[in-house]
Amino acid sequence: MTNAIASTRLTVLLPAGRLPLAIMAKAYELAKKYQLEIYLSTLQNLRLMGIREEDLPVIRGELAALGAQFKGPGRFPVPRVCIGVRDCTMGVGDPERISALILDHFKGREKTKQKLKIAISGCTLSCSGAATSDIGIMATRKGFDLYVGGKGGPSPRVGRRILRDLDEQGVVAAVAELVEFHDAHTESKQRMVKLINHPEFPYKEAV
Ligand code: SF4
């Protein structure tokens, strides 16, 4: 018989992978005080691990007081981004800006069905995995290309390019249409790859 102590975790969402200094300082303070591990997740969020159940409300409250938002069922997914044009010599677009526009558009959304991942890259090299995400946005010299239906996992897939040369507003409008399509054709959770051949899917391959 083991004496394992039940513990839980708390994931702080970090839009565009940016870590505000106040949250970094608070996470450090909490990790020291409660002897927690800090894990930087593959979706670029900050996870505190090893939290005792009874400490969770206080830890959550202290971070929330600084404006932290937390991962949880139904939350709109924070796009994964690469560093983009400001800090990469290959970059031609700014993923942080596109991420902010998308999150602003969806900020009032109450519930988003799961298994929907969004990634944005500042060029076609796709370092953030835009080609292998449910919705992928890739900057090019002519604007943004949009991919749908990529995924990782045991059967990885490259997404289908459905739109080319979009401007920023065009990206947001297309993402909104895809999110609504996913919502309307999904019971609880589903990858986009399962929907791209649906007879009502609104886009064909863009060559
Ligand atoms: S996708 Fe392009 S812009 Fe983004 S980090 Fe990779 S090389 Fe740089």
pLDDT in tens, 18-29: 999 999 999 999
Q: Is 125 in the pocket of ligand 1 (CB under 6 A)?
A: yes
186 ligand 1 Cβ < 6 A: no
Secondary element (H or E) of residue 183: helix 168-184
Q: How does residue 93 score in pLDDT terms, banded at 50, 70 and 90?
A: very high
Task: Cite the residue boundaries of each domain of the chain with CATH code 3.30.70.
Answer: 7-64
Distance CA 201, CA 203 (A): 6
Position 131 confidence tier, pLDDT thresholds 50, 70, 90: very high
Angle at 69 between CA 66 and CA 74, to 5 degrees: 165
Ranges in the chain annotated CATH 3.30.413.10:
80-194
Residue 4's pLDDT is 60
Euclidean distance between CA atoms 126 and 106, whole angstroms: 24
Strand partners, 52: 7
Q: Encoding tokens for residue 117?
A: 């991942």
Asked if the 7-64 domain carries CATH number 3.40.50, the reply is no
Maximum Cα interatomic distance, the chain, rounded to a whole number of Å: 63
Give the global pTM.
0.94
On whether the CB atoms of residues 148 and 135 are closer than 8 A, the answer is yes
Residue nearest atom 6 in ligand 1 by C-alpha distance? 127
Q: Which amino acid appears at position 202 of this protein?
A: P
- 133 CA to middle of ligand 1, Å? 16
Name the fold adopted by 80-194. Sulfite Reductase Hemoprotein; domain 1 (3.30.413)
